[in-house]
Amino acid sequence: MNQEILAQYRQEVHQHLTEELLPFWENRCVDRTHGGFITHFDKDGNDSGEDEKSLIAQTRTVYTFSAAHRAGHGDGRYADIARHGVDFLLEKMWDAEHGGFYWLMNRRGEVLIDEKIAYGHSFVMYSLSEYTLATGDPRGLEYAQRTFDLLQKYATDTHYGGYFEMFHRDWTLKGPGAAGGDRKTLDVHMHFMEAFTTLYEASGQEIHRRKLLEIIELLVRKIMHPEYGTGIPQFWADWRVAPQIKFDIVWGWDRFSEDGFKSASEDNTSYGHNVEFAWLLMHALDVLGIAYDEYRDQLLKSYDHAVAYGIDWEYGGVYVEGSHAGEVYDREKEFWQQAEVLIGMLDAYRVYQDEKYLKAYDATHRFVFDHLIDHRVGEWKPLLTRQGESIWTHMSHSWKVNYHSVRAMVQSLIRLDKLIQRQAESV
C-alpha cells in the first residue's frame, strides 16, 4: 500500500515543483533593469509594485535557485538566475566600509535601512554557501566566510554564549526592548545552525564544524524546553525566558497584539519551528557524520509533540502554535509551517518507520495540495483558516517569497525517492 501512496505523493510534488512553482518564479522575479529580484506579487501573481528589496528576500531567492539547480532542475537556467542575484548582493547590498549586508534597499539598489540584522546574515551564509556548492563560483563561499567571521567578531556573546542579533550599521549593539539588543531568539540560532551546516559542507573548515557543534548543543540545552523538547521563542541575554515581543525590524507577519506582545507571550511554541528544527538537526548530523541516536530524545520530542498537538486530524494541515504542554492557541494554517512539516515528517518516517509520521505527512500534504496551493497561479497562499479559506491573499512579499515552498518540494522529492527505493528493495 505504501508504495502506491508514496508514488502518488511523488508525482504530485514533482508536477507542482516543475510545472507550477519554479516556473512562477523563473518567469517573474528577475529584475533585468536594476539587478536582483522582484519579490512582491499579488494574488494573481502580478508585480504589486512594492519599492523594496530586502536582504531576506534576495538571499532566500539566491538559495532557492541554487538549491533547485543543485538538485538537478532547470537545465542550467537556475544557476544563471542565482548568479544574477549574487551579483546584486555583492555589488549593492554589501557594506564595503563596515562589512556585512544592509537590511533593506529600494528597487534601484539605494539603501533604505542600513542596520545589520543577524537573521538576514544567517541567510547570507546559507544562500551563498549553497550557491558555491551548486555552481562552483568561489565568490559565494568567500562572502559566506566573511559574514561568518564578522558574526564571530561582533555578535558573539562571550559571557552567556550564543549570539546577539540586532546591530546598527557599524555593528554596535542596538538598544533594549523593541530594538532587540537585549534579546536572543530561537529563530536566529536555529537559522545559524542551518547556515553553519551548509557553510561547513562547502568549506570543510574545522572552525565551521566546531561552531556548528557548539550551536547544536546550545539549541538543545538552552533553547528547547527542558521537559517538552519544544522551542522557546525569545530569551534575555542570560537565557532566561523572555516574553515574546515584536521587534522594530519585523521578522515576518506574525500576529501580535497592539502593544507588541504576543498572546501567551511566555508560553508558546511553534509546531512548524519544532519540526523544522528537528529535520535541520538531522541534516546537520548527516553533514557532521554523527549518528541520529546521539540526539534521539530531542528529535522524537520535536516530532511527537507536533503529531500529538499540531496536526489537524479533522481538516488537515498543521496549526500555527500552542502551549508547550499541548493546548492549541492558533488554529490558522500558515504556509511555512506546512512546508517544514512536509519535510520533517518524511524524515521522521524514513528514520523511525512509525506509521503515525506518514499519516501526519499525508494530512499536511493533502491540505497543501487541496487548499494552500493556488494551482491557477502556481504559488502558495500565505494564510488560511483552519478549514482552508483564504485570510491573506498575496502570493509573495519580502517575508514569504519562495524559500519555504520550493525547499519543501525539492527536499520532499529527495526523501520520497529514498523511501520509494527502500520499499522496492524490501519487496
pLDDT digits (tens, 9 = 90+) for 167-209: 999 999 999 999 999 999 999 999 999 999 999 999 999 999 9
Beta bridge partners of 415: none
Assign 148 to helix, strand or coil.
Answer: helix
How far from the centroid of its chain's Cα atoms is residue 353's Cα?
25
Read off the C-alpha cell for 333: 494554517
pLDDT digits (tens, 9 = 90+) for 368-407: 999 999 999 999 999 999 999 999 999 999 999 999 999 9
What whole-number distance in Å separates Cα of residue 284 and Cα of residue 126? 13
What whole-number distance in Å separates Cα of residue 314 and Cα of residue 102? 44
How many domains in the chain?
1
256 has a pLDDT exceeding 60: no
- Predicted local confidence at residue 2, as pLDDT: 82
Find, among 115, 117, 119, 127, the residue nearest to 58 by Cα.
127
What whole-number distance in Å separates Cα of residue 392 and Cα of residue 278? 28
% of the chain with per-residue pLDDT over 90: 93
Range of the domain at 328: 1-425
Q: What is the mean pLDDT of residues 308-330?
A: 97
- Predicted local confidence at residue 425, as pLDDT: 87
76 has a pLDDT exceeding 70: yes
Average confidence score pLDDT of the chain: 95
Answer yes or no: are the C-beta atoms of 33 and 376 closer than 8 Å: no
Answer yes or no: are the C-beta atoms of 223 and 153 closer than 8 Å: no
- Predicted local confidence at residue 253, as pLDDT: 47
Answer yes or no: are the C-beta atoms of 271 and 236 closer than 8 Å: no
Strands in 315-365 per DSSP E = 321-322, 328-330, 333-334
What whole-number distance in Å separates Cα of residue 281 and Cα of residue 295? 9
Answer yes or no: are the C-beta atoms of 296 and 366 closer than 8 Å: no
1 has a pLDDT exceeding 90: no
- Predicted local confidence at residue 260, as pLDDT: 55
Answer yes or no: are the C-beta atoms of 197 and 212 closer than 8 Å: yes
- Predicted local confidence at residue 427, as pLDDT: 74
Find, among 114, 286, 266, the residue nearest to 200 by Cα.
286
What whole-number distance in Å separates Cα of residue 319 and Cα of residue 393? 18
CATH of the domain at 356: 1.50.10.10
Q: What is the mean pLDDT of residues 126-138?
A: 98
pTM listed for this prediction:
0.97
pLDDT digits (tens, 9 = 90+) for 261-282: 556 667 999 999 999 999 999 9
6 has a pLDDT exceeding 90: yes
Q: What is the mean pLDDT of residues 347-353?
A: 97
What whole-number distance in Å separates Cα of residue 220 and Cα of residue 277? 10
- Predicted local confidence at residue 426, as pLDDT: 83
Instruction: List b or e across 228-252, with b for residues whose CB sees 16 or more CB atoms inside 10 angstroms.
Output: bbbbbbbbebebeebebbbbebebe
In single-letter form, the type of residue at position 131 comes to Y
252 has a pLDDT exceeding 80: no
* Backbone CA torsion sign across 267, 270, 273, 276: positive
Assign 119 to helix, strand or coil.
Answer: helix
Answer yes or no: are the C-beta atoms of 90 and 142 closer than 8 Å: no
Query: End-to-end alpha-carbon separation of the chain, Å?
Result: 12
pLDDT digits (tens, 9 = 90+) for 79-128: 999 999 999 999 999 999 999 999 999 999 999 999 999 999 999 999 99
pLDDT digits (tens, 9 = 90+) for 216-238: 999 999 999 999 999 999 999 99
* Backbone CA torsion sign across 116, 165, 183, 264: positive
255 has a pLDDT exceeding 80: no
Find, among 38, 154, 7, the residue nearest to 95 by Cα.
154
Find, among 248, 243, 221, the residue nearest to 233 by Cα.
243
